[in-house]
Structure 1
Amino acid sequence: MVSAAGRRSFGPIPLALRRGFALEAGMRSLVYLLGLLAGLVGLSADPAPIRVLVWDERQPEQKKAYDGGFLGDAIAKHLASLPGLAVKSVSLNSPEQGLGEATLAETDVVIFWCHQRPLEQDDVRTEDLVRRVLSGKTGFVALHSAHWAKPFVRLMQERAKADAVAALPEAERAIAQWEYANEKPYRIIPKKGAAATPNVQKVGAVWRLTLPQCVFPVYRADGAPSHVTTLRPTHPLAAGLPSKWDIPQTEMYGEPFWVPVPDSVIFEEKWDKGEHFRSGSLWRVGSGDVFYFRPGHETYPVFKQAENLRVLENAVRWMGAEIRRR
């Protein structure tokens, strides 16, 4: 029909059609609101933090270099100030030596420092931690004199066993008989000319694996500076670090370091008297990651230096990401 004004009119829209339009508009609004809500949730929900446990023997001598406090607490305080990390500091004197089942179940990465009291570390707690690393549930970072920490020694032993089996002809691996020597390497410095460990010999029908000593023949605690070179600048552990940096005061460790051959050597350290060391070494042990970072000594402020702290940050972030990726 045509109105008096000449405009065409189609009459009222049927009720059912009006309801259909309203329903469609309502659904569009609901979809929009749900999408907006999902976006807001995505923006506001931070990923779960990487859970870091810093384990420290807490020697009184550390207070000389760490403003009256302990080395482990200083590391933990720094890491806790960074986004995405939840950090706890424990010691040999903590309940269950800081390595109780409940604590380990809530830990992604352990940073470990010890020196004079490794033999006081509980064997049961050590094995609990080692199993978690082997299963890929926890990463392990050993610092400086923790080369003789029980967890590090045990992990290097497990890697040495795996390497020894892998070196055999495939047909022999499942039937080979093994015996192990040097299961307690603590506090024994190798003599000059001694055979490097780990090593394998066949004695009759049995393969004899001498487990790694996890130490080095020379060291010097004179506080001389060292010079660090980043050997693998594209590795995540080297992120944000210069190609070279100096550590003003540190103890010297000299090669050879009697451990299984690392999968990667990220950093090398040298001294003006000619010594050198693989100071940032990485292994896959079982399904887990183990990193050894050499710089240190409790009376020098090594872990107040930005570059060294960045190495630790990189290690826990990379290990935490690897655990979640699995």
Structure 2
Amino acid sequence: MTSPPTVTVWNEYRHERDSDAVAEVYPNGIHTAVADGLDEQGFETRTATLDDPEHGLTPEVLDETDVLTWWGHRAHDEVRDDVVERVCDRVRDGMGLLVLHSGHYSKPFKRLMGTSCALKWRESGERERVWAVEPGHPIAAGLDESFVVPRAEMYGERFDVPAPDDLVFVSWFEGGEVFRSGCCYTRGKGRIFYFRPGHETYPIYYQEEIRRVLGNAVEWAAPTDGPTPRFERSDPAEDVDVDVE
């Protein structure tokens, strides 16, 4: 792509409106913090939330979106199935999808993975060290070999997802658990990146390394100019000496 990808940053935006503790960390919503970090890196962003008409994800919005980021937690079941299918269709057609933290249980991610996407978890504010286990991957560009998230919610294996096409990051937690925290997938023409760090009561989306990862992931997940497959009756591409009915 010659111009910066256009990003739609989606968020439930529920915790921030009914929890003083969350509002203190993200007074304008997690979506605003994520969008601000991407804006600083030169991306064109818009935001959408669960309570917007059609969750802010109309066909027109999605058609104008190169990469969609998704943060959800407690209201996954409130996302309309027709909107979920709309998002999944756009991913298969080439739109990138970044699934953040507890978005692992979101309807679009579960549908695209075809698994439960379940995991272990513990919220105790422990330290997380994120290791770049694929340092040559574009999403790891500009980072050190590892970085620390000072306070985080623990996610632990087994993470019930398909084996990723590329595993970019692995996390270690003070309690001893490890977790595949940066997973890349392809569905149709679309690229998907799941990134674990991020929680509503910790200021993780303001952290420099996290913002760098998200910017790199947007660049990686943006649509490419690859061929569009056709699913139809097909005549031979080469001359063949057979009858074709």
Please, which runs of 5 or more residues in structure 1 have no aligned partner?
A: 1-45, 158-211
Aligned AA (1:288): G
Counterpart for residue 313 of structure 1: 215
How far residue 285 of structure 1 moved from its aligned partner, in angstroms, is: 1.5
Say whether residues 1:76 and 2:35 are aligned partners: yes
SS at match of 2:200: coil
2:191 is equivalent to residue 236 of structure 1 = no
The code of the aligned residue for 1:63 comes to A
2:243 paired residue number: none
Runs of 4+ in structure 1 deviating by more than 4 angstroms, as ranges, are none
Decide which structure has greater helix share: 1
Q: What do you get for the CA RMSD once the two structures are aligned?
A: 1.3
CA distance in 1 between partners of 2:188 and 2:135 (Å): 26
Matches within 5 A, 1:1-326: 47-58=2-13, 59-60=15-16, 61=19, 62-66=22-26, 68-83=27-42, 85-136=43-94, 138-157=95-114, 212-216=115-119, 218-320=120-222, 323-326=223-226
CA distance in 1 between counterparts of 2:145 and 2:209 reads 11
Listed one character per residue, the Cα deviations across residues 156-205 of structure 1 (whole Å, up to 9, x for unaligned) are 11xxxxxxxxxxxxxxxxxxxxxxxxxxxxxxxxxxxxxxxxxxxxxxxx
Paired with 2:176 and 2:52, the residues of 1 have a C-alpha distance of: 41
Deviation, structure 1 residue 312 = 0.4
2:193·2:221 contact (CA, 8 Å) conserved in 1? no
By how many angstroms is 1:287 displaced?
A: 2.1
Q: TM-score, normalised by structure 1?
A: 0.66
The alignment partner of 2:126 has SS state of: coil
2:202 and 2:3 map into 1 onto residues whose CA distance is: 34
SS in 1 for 2:218: helix
Structure number with the higher strand fraction is 2
Q: Distance in 2 between matches of 1:282 and 1:57?
A: 23
The answer (yes or no) to whether the contact 2:11–2:30 under 8 Å persists in 1 is yes
Offset at residue 286 of structure 1 (A): 2.0
Structure 2 segments unaligned to the other structure (5+ residues)? 227-245
Q: Tell me the distance in 2 between the aligned counterparts of 1:227 and 1:47.
A: 35
TM-score, L = length of structure 2: 0.87
The structure number with the bigger radius of gyration is 1
Q: Secondary structure at the match of 1:213?
A: coil
1:122 Cα deviation after fit: 0.8
Does the CA-based 8 Å contact 2:11-2:49 persist in structure 1?
Answer: yes
> Taking every aligned residue pair, what percent have the same amino acid on both sides?
40
Amino acid corresponding to residue 58 of structure 2 in structure 1: G
Letter of the 2:100 partner, please give it: L
CA distance in 2, matches of 1:121, 1:132: 16
Q: Distance in 1 between matches of 2:32 and 2:96?
A: 19
